[in-house]
Structure 1
Amino acid sequence: MPIRNDRTRYGWLSIGLHWLVAATVIGLFALGLWMVDLGYYDPWYRTGPDIHRSIGILLFAVMLVRLLWRWLSPPPASLPTHQRWETLLAHLAHWALYLLLFVAMVSGYLISSADGSSVSVFGGFSVPSLTGHQSGLEDIAGDIHEVAVWSLIVLAGLHALAALKHHFLDRDDTLRRMLGLSPRHPTPSSPGESQ
């Protein structure tokens, strides 16, 4: 499998980035839900948020790489069996997922840095506060973070259901392309193209 996308399938870098981001978002969501109920004396009271913040900062960097790669290696064309409305909804959903991811990550960073402190990433490096101490910013960013994260999870769930619908009901290659699998019904080779 090539590194770059082509007209009919995704390359391994796009596939890897997609599944890395999906797994990370699910993991961060689960960690976030779990850590909000931790008591002050729980040993994970500080460790859980430190891990959550560190992974969030690294995810931000991965998403920048993903957007750059999308520009350098555009995704495959929609399958010819897709209806026009399906293609439009898919494009809107993808860009909404990107937007919600960035809103969630930036608001999460603002929650942690609103008091003027930097955000340590696994103790290896720190991202300084861009706002300095801003009274009330932590609460506003917290509300935005919660709405963005829940919206992201709902939309990602719909995205997954759409992929399963294409795979099991429409029996097309939408999901197979993102899994790196060969098409169910390969398109015939063009004249002069090697078999």
Structure 2
Amino acid sequence: MFKNTTTNYGVVAILLHWLMAVAILFLFGLGLYMVELTYYDAWYKGSLDLHKSIGVSLFLLLVIRFAWRLFNPTPAPVDNAPSAKKLNQVAHYMHLLLYVVMLCLMLTGYFISTADGRSIDVFGLFSMPALPISIDQQEDIAGEIHFWLAWSLITFAGVHALAAFKHHFINKDRTLIRMFKVSETSSLGK
């Protein structure tokens, strides 16, 4: 139930997937909102602090997700027909691309936030320290890259969602269902 099997995702993988999806969509919306604020807007600092805290939390979830993937089987694709093997490879590389873009997006967010040498306060629980060095115009350079990575991630996530809907509505297979429902045949230790 908690762990993945060779045919289904477990509760932990499903929760990590959906927590991250919701956080990414929220951060993207908050980011769009934040860029419209001026320094004198009432929620300017609050929105930045929230964005940074959720961003660091999302990074921690990504690390947990990487670790979970290392120690759990990845369920096999639903369609193992010879004609689907190439598409399954494309899906695998798309997932890798999503992970790389997420990681780079989080790193650029860190470089923006710590460009002035200050650590990032995470919901008042702990601080993520800044690196002891920085480069000229670090905030501006990282900000430009962060902007394009954010749009790339949302685009790739949209393609990912459309592919899941295609599997559900056109192929009529279990690909999408597996990310919502733990199979009744999964057991606690499997």
Q: Write the letter of the residue equivalent to 1:122.
A: F
Which residue matches 1:116? 117
CA distance in 2, matches of 1:166, 1:131: 48
Q: Which has the higher contact order (CA 8 A, sep 6+)?
A: 2
Gaps spanning 5+ residues in structure 2: where?
A: 186-190
Aligned twin of 1:3 = 2
Q: Is the 8 A contact 1:113 1:131 kept in 2?
A: no
Per-residue deviation, residues 129-151 of structure 1 (Å, max 9, x unmatched): 11434321111111111111111
Write the distance in 2 (CA, Å) between the matches of 1:74 and 1:149: 29
TM-score by length of 2: 0.92
Contact 2:111/2:138 (8 A) holds in 1? yes
Residue 96 in structure 1 maps to residue 97 in structure 2: yes
Moved more, 62-71 or 35-44: 35-44
Structure 1 length normalisation: TM-score?
0.89
Aligned to 1:152: 153
Is residue 2:48 matched to residue 1:49?
A: yes
Whether 1:17 and 2:29 are equivalent positions in the alignment is no
Using the alignment, how far apart are the partners of 2:116 and 2:105 within structure 1?
A: 18
AA at the equivalent of 1:176: I
Question: How many residues were matched structurally?
Answer: 183
Question: 2:112, 2:101 → 1: CA distance?
Answer: 16
The Cα of 1:81 is off from its aligned counterpart by 4.9
Extract structure 1 runs of 4+ deviating beyond 4 A: none
* Distance in structure 1 (CA, Å) of the matches to 2:182 and 2:125: 38
**Partner of 2:188 in structure 1?**
none
Residues in 2 aligned to 1:80 and 1:118: alpha-carbon distance in whole angstroms: 47
Query: Percent identity over the alignment?
Result: 46
Helix, strand or coil at the partner of 1:120: strand
Q: CA deviation at 1:39?
A: 2.1
Q: Give SS of 1:9's match.
A: coil
Corresponding residue number in structure 2 for 1:176: 177
**Alpha-carbon distance, 1:79 to partner:** 1.5
Q: Which has the larger radius of gyration?
A: 1
Mapped to 2, the partners of 1:134 and 1:13 lie a distance apart of 39
Q: Which runs of 5+ in 1 are unaligned?
A: 187-195
- The equivalent of 1:193 in structure 2 is none
Q: Would the aligned equivalents of 1:115 and 1:132 in 2 still touch at CA under 8 Å?
A: no
- Which position in structure 2 is the counterpart of 1:137? 138
The residue number in structure 2 matching 1:165 is 166
Amino acid aligned to 1:70 = R
